[in-house]
Structure 1
Amino acid sequence: MRAAVLREFGAPLTVGEVPDAEAGGGEVVVEVLATCVAPYAAEVFSGARRYPLVPPVVPGIGGVGRIVHAGPDATRLRAGDLVWCDVTVRSRDDALTPDITLQGWSSRGEGGARLARYLHDGSFAELMRVPTENVFALPDAAGRDPARWAALGTHVIAYGGLLAGALAAGETLLVSGATGNLGSCAVAVALAMGAGRVVAPGRNRAALRLLADRFGERVRPVALSGDEAADRAAMTAAAEGPIDMVIDLLPPSAPSAVARAAAMTVREYGRVVLMGGVGMLGGDDLALPYPWIMRNSVTVRGQWMYPRTANVGIIRLLAAGTLDLAPERVRSFGLDEVNDAIAYAAAHGGPFDRTALMPRAA
């Protein structure tokens, strides 16, 4: 099979023949129809993000595909089935605290690194080996436009964070990082889940207008000034009432003060979910005041990725049309154009911009 391989950090990916993916027990082989190229992929492959990838590796973060082979322990899956391949792989020997690897992308701790050594390669390839529990049936619509549906991998992250914060219908949510690629997904998913109002702060005024134009009065854009106190006041005023939940999806480049200003808008007994990259590359700590958290009974929770059940939920939202992918701007590339795709994704990382790699495309 053909695949794109990262042979060393800082070098372009190379495309060529590699051994075919073969499934062991509890695994399936999937023909990859489309996979999303993250806007920050160039930072990963350059080494700037310090991800624990070990070259040579076929990278990639899940995707849309068709089953080629399913093992004997799969009782529902059949060759030819259209499926979503979830990148978040968990070890099977500790249900309480399983080790996690993002197949072909990243991992957590020594246990995650061991898992990554076994499930080393991701979706920038014609075929991919995937644990059986990581594939989920897709509706026929996904097969008609797999490049568009490959964005499922971004939406499910935001959905996982909203589930972690127990977002309820009618509640007011503030999305810190709303003008980014992932944050804009959180806005869309929250509204699909029934949020009454979404406060969307950011510096990019064009992106704020895009959110307001797409979603109307339920989205309340706030242009940030950089003054922590003033920004907190502006976000609070935009909500026109209590903010029930804050989700932070800011990138590693964002200063902690921006995340703190957003978090501290939440109401008494409110919830704050941290999913972004603030502090991952250095900088100040978040430094939320102890008395504020305690006296206001605020729940602060970290969430990395999402539970397996989130895959089913986000697919249902998409299949029902409650979450609409049609307005998204999608650009597709063939496998031989992988480095062009990475560069394009880096330059088009705004709200609802998607870059897809289609390994079987001519």
Structure 2
Amino acid sequence: MRAATLTAFGSPLVVHDVPDPEAGSGEVLVEVLATCVPPYAAEVFSGERRYPLEPPVVPGVGGIGRVVRVGPDATKLAVGDLVWCDPTVRARDDALTPDITLQGWSPRGEGGAKLARHLPDGPFAELMRVPTENVYRLPAAAAADPARWSALGVHTIAYGGLLAGRLEAGETLLVSGATGNLGSSAVAVALAVGAGHVVVPGRNRAVLDLLADRFGARVSPVELSGDEDTDRATMAAATDGPIDMVLDLLPPWAPSSVARAAAMTVREHGRVVLMGGVGMLGGADLALPYPWIMRNSVTVRGQWMYPRTANAGMIRLIATGALDLAPERVTRFDLDQVNDAVAYAAEHGGPFDRTVLMPTA
């Protein structure tokens, strides 16, 4: 098969012939039709983001494909099925605290690195080998546009954050980092699952206006000034009622003061979910005040990716039209154009802008 390989950080991806992966027991072999290229992929491949990838590796983060081969433990999957391949691989030998790797992207700890060495098959290739439990059948309608459905790789992350915060119908959510690619997804998904109102802070006025135009009165844009106290007060006053939950999806270069200002808008007994990259490249700690958390009975939790059930839930949201993918802009590249796709994604990382690699186009 042909695949795009990261041979070393700072080097372009190399498209070449490599041996076909061989799926064993507990694994599925999938022909990759489409995979989203993250806007920050260039930062990962350059080494700027300091991801613990171990080159050489075929990178990527999940994808849409067709099943080519199934193992003997598959009872429902069949050859020819159109599927979503979830990159969040969990070790099978510890149900309580399993080691995790994002297949083709980022392992967690030494256990995750061991998993990554076993599964160096990311979706930037014609074929990939995937654990059986990471493969989810898609509705027949998805076959009409697998590239558009590859946005599952973005929306399911946002959905995981909402599940972690137990967002309830009618509640008010503040999305910190709402003007970014992942943050804007969180706005759309939150409204799709029944959020009553979403506060969307940011510095980019054009993107704030775009979100308000797309979603109407249920979205309140807030243009940030850069002053922590002023911004906290402005965000808290953006709706008539209290803010029930804050979801932080800020990128690694965002200052912790921006995340803190957003978090501290949440009401008494509110919830704060941290999913962004603040502090990953150094800088000041988040430093939420102990007395504020304690006296207001605020719940603060981190969330990396999402539970397995989120995949099925997100597929249902799209299949039923609760989350509409039609307005999203999708730009497609074939495998030979992989480096062009990475560069394009870096320049087009705004809301609902998808760069999609189609290895078997």
Alignment correspondent of 1:119: 119
Alignment correspondent of 1:348: 348
For residues 171 and 221 of structure 1, the distance between their equivalents in structure 2, rounded to whole angstroms, comes to 17
TM-score (norm 1): 0.99
* Identity among equivalent pairs (%): 80
Alignment correspondent of 2:215: 215
Alignment correspondent of 2:252: 252
One-letter amino acid matched to 2:233: A
Q: 1:273-288 maps to which residues of 2 (within 5 A)?
A: 273-288=273-288
For residues 228 and 240 of structure 1, the distance between their equivalents in structure 2, rounded to whole angstroms, comes to 21
Q: 1:324-335 maps to which residues of 2 (within 5 A)?
A: 324-335=324-335
For residues 120 and 339 of structure 1, the distance between their equivalents in structure 2, rounded to whole angstroms, comes to 19
One-letter amino acid matched to 1:261: A
One-letter amino acid matched to 1:92: R
For residues 343 and 195 of structure 1, the distance between their equivalents in structure 2, rounded to whole angstroms, comes to 35
Alignment correspondent of 1:199: 199
Q: 1:39-118 maps to which residues of 2 (within 5 A)?
A: 39-118=39-118
- Aligned-pair distance for 1:279? 0.2
For residues 57 and 304 of structure 2, the distance between their equivalents in structure 1, rounded to whole angstroms, comes to 23
TM-score (norm 2): 1.00
- Aligned-pair distance for 1:141? 2.0
For residues 64 and 259 of structure 1, the distance between their equivalents in structure 2, rounded to whole angstroms, comes to 33
* Structure 2 residue matching 1:356: 3-state secondary structure: strand
For residues 118 and 239 of structure 1, the distance between their equivalents in structure 2, rounded to whole angstroms, comes to 49
For residues 140 and 354 of structure 1, the distance between their equivalents in structure 2, rounded to whole angstroms, comes to 22
For residues 339 and 328 of structure 1, the distance between their equivalents in structure 2, rounded to whole angstroms, comes to 22
Structure 1, unaligned stretches of length 5 or more? none
Alignment correspondent of 1:148: 148
Which 4+ runs in 1 deviate beyond 4 A? none
Alignment correspondent of 2:291: 291
Alignment correspondent of 1:319: 319
For residues 143 and 251 of structure 2, the distance between their equivalents in structure 1, rounded to whole angstroms, comes to 32
- Aligned-pair distance for 1:85? 0.1
For residues 356 and 139 of structure 2, the distance between their equivalents in structure 1, rounded to whole angstroms, comes to 19
For residues 143 and 20 of structure 1, the distance between their equivalents in structure 2, rounded to whole angstroms, comes to 24
For residues 33 and 233 of structure 2, the distance between their equivalents in structure 1, rounded to whole angstroms, comes to 46
One-letter amino acid matched to 2:88: T
Alignment correspondent of 1:174: 174
For residues 140 and 179 of structure 2, the distance between their equivalents in structure 1, rounded to whole angstroms, comes to 31
- Aligned-pair distance for 1:119? 0.7
Alignment correspondent of 2:4: 4
Cα distance per residue 1:243-267 (max 9 Å; x no partner): 0000000000100000000000000
Alignment correspondent of 1:336: 336
One-letter amino acid matched to 1:78: A
* Structure 1 residue matching 2:238: 3-state secondary structure: helix
One-letter amino acid matched to 2:132: T
For residues 250 and 141 of structure 1, the distance between their equivalents in structure 2, rounded to whole angstroms, comes to 33
One-letter amino acid matched to 1:301: R
- Aligned-pair distance for 1:140? 1.6
- Aligned-pair distance for 1:331? 0.2
One-letter amino acid matched to 2:12: P
- Answer yes or no: is 1:20 the counterpart of 2:26: no
One-letter amino acid matched to 1:14: V
Cα distance per residue 1:207-242 (max 9 Å; x no partner): 101100100000000000001011011111112210
For residues 240 and 13 of structure 1, the distance between their equivalents in structure 2, rounded to whole angstroms, comes to 50
- Aligned-pair distance for 1:278? 0.1
Alignment correspondent of 2:269: 269
Alignment correspondent of 1:240: 240
* Structure 2 residue matching 1:268: 3-state secondary structure: strand
Cα distance per residue 1:287-340 (max 9 Å; x no partner): 000000000000000000000000000000000000000000110000000000
Alignment correspondent of 1:186: 186
One-letter amino acid matched to 1:260: R
Alignment correspondent of 2:306: 306
For residues 198 and 333 of structure 1, the distance between their equivalents in structure 2, rounded to whole angstroms, comes to 34
